[in-house]
Structure 1
Amino acid sequence: MGSGSPGRRPDLITLTGVSAVGHHGVLDFERRDGQPFVVDAVLHSDFSAAAGTDDIGSTASYAEVAERIVEIVSGEPVDLIETLAVRLAESVLAEFPVEAVEITVHKPKAPIAVPFGDVSVTVFRERGRGD
């Protein structure tokens, strides 16, 4: 994967707990009232160019990634958090210089009738595979 040596592990940027209110869900009150969503993103990249130049233009700005995540979560509603996770992953791949991305969407206030701590979905997407 990527521009490093064969078999080399990618370098990672990890964002955890990016939060926004969204109106996603299949139930009417979820769409109407909204609820918090929390996103974790792991960006797979190669930091060689960025480390060599010490220039943010050679890497993905985690601040810009976080802002984009919030825009999407608070934007157009979808029924499923699976759809939201794929939408986020595809956006990060299209807009930022990363080789792959893993997105986890947490829905901590999901309408579940029994006590629970969290519900989440995770997707992994990489360049050359559905991007």
Structure 2
Amino acid sequence: MTDTLQIRGIECFGHHGVFEFERREGQVFVIDLELGVDTRPAALSDDLAETVDYGTLTLAVKAAVETDPVDLIETLAQRIAAVCLLAHRVEWATVTVHKPHAPIDATYSDVALTITRQRSQSS
């Protein structure tokens, strides 16, 4: 049995995209996380070591977005999920990568990709 820890709206500045100007100029990406965690040990002990340190995890996700540019948000989402699954208490991760300024010649509010990975599917 797992509970769900959510971290929403992590703003990052990255240089991802298939176009050269996206790589050069960069843009804002917004990350939402849902993490499957059994919180019972932490609830019983009131000890941070028994759960996910979401502050540290958020910084690791931010670093994963802000380094090593890739072409596709699919690749970026997979990278973020792998980072989340490194936290030993995380059983599964649902990652949404928002690219609100994607280069689309139309009026739209957001482009987003959501993936779910389990510990056994992390690679």
Secondary structure of the equivalent of 1:14? Answer: strand
Name the TM-score, length of structure 1 as normaliser: 0.90
**Residues 13-92 of structure 1 aligned to structure 2 (within 5 Å):** 13-92=5-84
- Alignment partner, residue 104 of structure 1: 96
For 2:38 and 2:115, how far apart are their aligned partners in 1? 20
* Equivalenced residues, count: 123
1:129 Cα shift? 2.8
Counterparts in 2 of 1:22 and 1:96: CA distance versus 1, 3 Å? farther
Once the two structures are superposed, residues 51-83 of structure 1 have per-residue CA deviations (whole angstroms, 9 ceiling, x without a partner) of: 111001111111111111110111110000010
Secondary structure of the equivalent of 1:103? Answer: strand
- Alignment partner, residue 118 of structure 1: 110
Name the aligned partner's letter for residue 65 of structure 1: L
More helix as a share of residues: 2
Name the aligned partner's letter for residue 125 of structure 1: R
Name the TM-score, length of structure 2 as normaliser: 0.96
- Alignment partner, residue 7 of structure 1: none
**Runs of 4+ with >6 A deviation:** none
Unpaired stretches in structure 2, ≥5 consecutive residues: none
1:96 Cα shift? 4.1
Aligned partners of 2:15 and 2:27 also within 8 Å: yes
CA RMSD of aligned residues (A): 1.0
Secondary structure of the equivalent of 1:128? Answer: helix
Secondary structure of the equivalent of 1:88? Answer: helix
